[in-house]
């Protein structure tokens, strides 16, 4: 495919996208709009993927299993050399927050689209990020000052923090390496389990402790920085979760007053600028609605799955801005230039069967019908005849809607979900149709444990 944009970047002529699925497509489209040649990578399982079809070039990087393909830094760097790439965009997941990979890309003379390795180490490591937040005067959940080195040390911290406690992996994300302990006996059992899970998922068994807030809301702030200056793009509500995996997100949060929103976003901006952040990032918080207090918990040093709802309410293309910053451009706008308009919602549609405890359902998509109309966006790699492999995340699509206010956006989402059809693989479509009709969701009255309790109640009445 040829390049049609009038924009020609100064440094990045060819971009390799070190990822797969819908995020690979998302990055390819943004890069092509900026006049960049695009290179997809693919494993044996993704030979016929839509990203492979739409990129200007594609390079095979190995077998289906991610450890031998999308997590293989040497294979990705070899693909960049083979294709003549100037830069690598890591997307999300896989190696997106791997400081060693970021450094290896830089050492190879390429541009890493994201923060540098030292920033990823300081902010991608949750325990280190907490220390940075405290130094910047940003409130954090009471917890250990860093990684706990032993069970005895954990017990000592627990006596000061109080129960219930959350044990969290210092590296990685996605809900892995997390356990909750209601008392000392559970803490003794949970520490080694969390360490083992973190070691298996991220190659790092370090864990730290936080006070557990069972009815907290999960709210995050989107930021962009050029290393000298940063801006925020308001917040997203991500409290509807299952097994600490986000299911449904909206922007703005229905829980925040204008004053609280300003305080939250200003704290995120303060922390972002204190570390000289470069690229797109997200600062995640827990909001204790009973106390009216928010606490920083971690920073994701990459683009987020749910970034489209921020794009919808601000009109700013986050992926294009990431690429511009990586290409050496300063931020193109000031904080006063960024306004929030309307409301947006994202539903994550996964190839999972809710009736079978959300068991993944790989297979071939025999039929798909996407919704359309004003304010409706689909981010997906799925088409009729495409294969959903068993080796990766089960995300099929992100359905995003925007409207002038929250009530209208919920109604638009209900309409869009009704128009959507999948055949050939199971999906969570019916779950989302039920969620947008739920009184608690309609009222914006929910928290991080709401969805799992809601599902248990539904199962009990069926």
Give Rg (Cα) of the chain: 21
Q: How far apart are CA 261 and CA 234, in angstroms?
A: 8
* Bridge partners, residue 113, by sequence: none
Instruction: Extract the runs of DSSP E, i.e. beta strands, from 106-244.
Output: 111-112, 165-169, 178-181, 207-211, 217-226, 230-242
Evaluate whether 53 touches 1 at the Cβ level (below 8 Å). Answer: no
Q: How far apart are CA 175 and CA 97, in angstroms?
A: 15
Token readout for 171 is 């590296």
Instruction: Tell me phi and psi for residue 194, to 5 degrees.
Output: -65, -40
Q: How far apart are CA 141 and CA 295, in angstroms?
A: 5
Q: How far apart are CA 138 and CA 142, in angstroms?
A: 12
Token readout for 426 is 């199971």
Can you spell out the DSSP letters for 238-251? EEEEETTEEEEEEE
Closest CA to 70 of 43, 48, 102: 43
Closest CA to 318 of 309, 100, 327: 309
Cα distances (Å, whole numbers) of residue 222 to 179, 236, 253, 285, 370: 27, 8, 13, 11, 28
Residue from 302, 324, 377, 406 carrying the catalytic annotation: 302
Residue 185, judged by CB atoms within 10 A of its CB (0-12, 13-18, 19+), counts as exposed
20 is known as an active-site residue: no
Can you spell out the DSSP letters for 344-365? EEEEEEESEEGGGTTEE--EE-
Residue with tokens 């992100």: 398
Q: How far apart are CA 311 and CA 315, in angstroms?
A: 5
Q: Which are the catalytic amino acids?
A: 302
């Amino acid at each position: 495919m040829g390049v049609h944009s009038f924009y020609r970047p100064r440094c990045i002529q060819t971009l390799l996208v070190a990822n797969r699925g819908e995020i690979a497509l998302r990055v390819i489209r943004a890069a092509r709009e900026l006049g960049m040649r695009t290179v997809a990578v693919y494993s044996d399982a993704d030979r016929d993927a839509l990203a492979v079809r739409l990129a200007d070039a594609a390079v095979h990087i190995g077998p289906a299993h991610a450890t031998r393909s999308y997590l293989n830094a040497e294979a990705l760097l070899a693909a960049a050399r083979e294709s003549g790439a100037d830069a690598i965009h890591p997307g999300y997941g896989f190696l997106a927050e791997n400081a060693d990979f970021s450094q290896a890309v830089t050492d190879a003379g390429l541009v890493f689209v994201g923060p540098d390795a030292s920033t990823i180490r300081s902010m991608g490591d949750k325990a280190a990020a907490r220390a940075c937040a405290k130094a910047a005067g940003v409130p954090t959940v009471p917890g250990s000052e860093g990684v706990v080195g032993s069970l005895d040390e954990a017990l000592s911290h627990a006596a000061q923090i109080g129960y219930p406690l959350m044990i969290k992996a210092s590296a990685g994300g996605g809900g892995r390496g997390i356990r909750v302990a209601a008392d000392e006996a559970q803490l003794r059992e949970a520490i080694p389990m969390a360490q083992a899970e973190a070691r298996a998922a991220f190659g790092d068994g370090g864990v730290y402790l936080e006070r557990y807030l069972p009815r907290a809301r999960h709210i995050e702030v989107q930021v962009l920085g050029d290393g000298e200056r940063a801006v925020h793009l308001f917040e997203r509500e991500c409290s509807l979760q299952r097994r600490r995996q986000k299911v449904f997100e909206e922007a703005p949060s229905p829980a925040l007053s204008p004053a609280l929103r300003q305080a939250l976003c200003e704290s995120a901006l303060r922390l972002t600028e204190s570390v000289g952040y470069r690229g797109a990032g997200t600062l995640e918080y827990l909001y204790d609605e009973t106390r009216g207090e928010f606490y920083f918990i971690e920073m994701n040093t990459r683009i987020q799955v749910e970034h489209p709802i921020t794009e919808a309410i601000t009109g700013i293309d986050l992926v294009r801005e990431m690429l511009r910053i990586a290409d050496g451009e300063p931020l193109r706008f000031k904080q006063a230039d960024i306004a929030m308009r309307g409301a947006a919602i994202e539903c994550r549609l996964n190839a999972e069967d809710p009736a079978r405890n959300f068991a993944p359902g790989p297979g071939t998509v025999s039929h798909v019908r996407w919704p359309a109309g004003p304010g409706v966006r689909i981010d997906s790699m799925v088409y009729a005849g495409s294969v959903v492999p068993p080796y990766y995340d089960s995300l099929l699509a992100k359905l995003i809607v925007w409207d002038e206010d929250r009530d209208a956006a919920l109604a638009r989402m209900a309409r869009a979900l009704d128009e959507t059809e999948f055949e050939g693989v199971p999906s969570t479509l019916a779950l989302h149709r039920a969620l947008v009709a739920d009184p608690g969701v309609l009222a914006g009255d929910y928290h991080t444990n709401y969805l799992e309790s809601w599902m248990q109640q539904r199962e009990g009445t069926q």
